[in-house]
Amino acid sequence: MSNEPRTAIVTGAARGIGAGVAQRLAADGMKVVVLDLDEAACELVAKEIREAGGTALAAGCDVSDEAAVKTTVARVVEEVGAPTVLVNNAGIIRDNLIFKMTLEDWEAVMAVHLRGSFLMTRACQTHMTEAGFGRIVNLSSVSALGNRGQTNYSAAKAGLQGFTKTLAIELGKFGVTANAIGPGFIETEMTQATAARIGVPFSDFTAMAAAEIPVQRTGKPEDIAHTASFLVSEGAGFVSGQVIYVAGGPRD
């Protein structure tokens, strides 16, 4: 095994869960590519990582754009090294009840979550199979089990679970594992936006959520980062095709 630090790409890493995961993987000793739509926003996270002693590259990329993905992954190989760890975290919400949901809202969510994860994985898996080592982590959600007002998001997150299990079957013989994390309520800009949309103060929103969670608190990005850190580690090589709900209690 090479002593060279592994290169990890984390998508949707300019904020929230993605930023937390990027910072944790950098702390674990990986070279991290902070990838999101806005490279300037990525640079803020990358700079924090570098100031903490880590190695990070900021990369602006629309994960749903095939040409952009190919160009960005090629840049990563050239500037940082071949990526053998990929965390597909990029995502958006366009919530509405089914009778109000537009086709554009449906397709936008599918494009980022499903098309984006497919394109990023297809581009990176070549480097993983060549190295004989790879770790893919896809961010699903407890919403994959169904959630009012999220037919698009729920369908995309459920789709990622099937995607993950099939990757595990196809890539396992090459030393590549694929797993999914299904976060519960995590305090991010996305959940703050949800609270604002329904007109509830965020403190009240989190308190109501915590009351329904067995551990009696809501999650932080760090909770997801800890789980991702394990799944991409050398020691997790016998864990593949799994969906791990990180939600403060059991989920079916």
Domains detected in the chain: 7-184+221-241 (3.40.50.720), 188-218 (no CATH)
**Could you identify the residue written with the tokens 């053998």?**
84
DSSP assignment of 128-143: HHHHT-EEEEEE--GG
Say what the pLDDT of residue 175 is. Answer: 98
Q: Which of 106, 118, 133, 153 is catalytic?
A: 153
Kindly tell me if the per-residue pLDDT of 140 is higher than 80.
yes
Residues 224, 183: contact at Cβ < 8 Å?
A: yes
Q: Are strands 134-139 and 31-36 parallel, antiparallel or unpaired?
A: unpaired
Kindly tell me if the per-residue pLDDT of 2 is higher than 60.
no
Question: Which pLDDT tens digit goes with each residue over 69-127?
Answer: 999 999 999 999 999 999 999 999 999 999 999 999 999 999 999 999 999 999 999 99
Kindly tell me if the per-residue pLDDT of 190 is higher than 90.
no
Query: What span, in angstroms and rounded, lies between the C-alpha atoms of 177 and 183?
Result: 19
pTM: 0.96
Question: Which pLDDT tens digit goes with each residue over 33-77?
Answer: 999 999 999 999 999 999 999 999 999 999 999 999 999 999 999
Kindly tell me if the per-residue pLDDT of 1 is higher than 80.
no
Q: Does residue 188 sit in helix, strand or coil?
A: coil
Query: What span, in angstroms and rounded, lies between the C-alpha atoms of 211 and 149?
Result: 21
- Residue 245 bears catalytic tag: no
